[in-house]
């Protein structure tokens, strides 16, 4: 179990981190963490294209990637790891299983259940989400707080 905001939850699976009741997927390297989304690294343009009758010229000029038709124009295919967006932009792929929502990828999230109150050691008392060493069976925490407050210590 791990303590998160004063309650204990089962640890998340590998590749996920916990935020209270939820386990949220980590972003891959190069992607910015935006909470439930991973912002993609930079896209790039693939040029102004070639008119419809110049598909052969496009393929000749871009032997490394080849070309594809978009509308009435031919464009160099996107590099590996990128996909075309509209006619002229190549955007990074989202990692396997993540949903592509344009400039970001939606993370996987799963519920890890309701948190449990932590167990304190036998010589500790549970107070407001924390464990404190027990001062003795007759110790009055409220009276001690009021005494410290009156002295300007609380």
Sheet holding 50-51, edge to edge: 50-51, 73-76, 67-70
Q: What is the pLDDT of residue 135?
A: 79
Q: What is the pLDDT of residue 119?
A: 80
Q: What is the pLDDT of residue 154?
A: 65
Q: What is the pLDDT of residue 27?
A: 95
pTM (global) more than 0.75: no
pLDDT along the chain (154 residues), means of 10: 85 94 94 95 93 93 93 94 90 90 93 86 78 78 82 79
Q: What is the pLDDT of residue 10?
A: 93
Q: What is the DSSP string of the chain?
A: -EEETTEEEPPPPTTEEEETTEEEEPPPTTSEE-SSEEE----EE--S-EEGGGHHHHHHHTTTT-EEEETTEEEEPPPTTEEEETTTEEEEPPPTTPEE-SSEEEPPEEE----BPPPPPTTEEEETTEEEE---TT--HHHHHHHHHHTT--
Q: What is the pLDDT of residue 23?
A: 96
């Amino acid at each position: 179990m791990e303590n998160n905001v004063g309650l204990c939850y089962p640890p998340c699976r590998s590749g996920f981190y916990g935020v209270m009741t939820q386990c949220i997927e980590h972003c891959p390297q190069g992607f910015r963490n935006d909470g439930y989304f991973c912002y993609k690294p930079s896209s790039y343009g693939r040029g102004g294209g070639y008119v419809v009758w110049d598909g052969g010229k496009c393929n000749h000029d871009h032997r490394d990637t080849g070309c594809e038709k978009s509308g009435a124009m031919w464009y160099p295919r996107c590099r590996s790891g990128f996909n075309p967006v509209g006619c002229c932009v190549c955007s990074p792929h989202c990692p396997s299983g993540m949903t592509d929502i344009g400039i970001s990828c939606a993370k996987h999230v799963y519920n890890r259940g309701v948190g449990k109150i932590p167990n304190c050691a036998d010589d500790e008392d549970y107070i407001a989400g924390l464990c404190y060493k027990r001062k003795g069976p007759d110790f009055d925490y409220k009276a001690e707080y009021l005494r410290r407050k009156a002295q300007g210590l609380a």
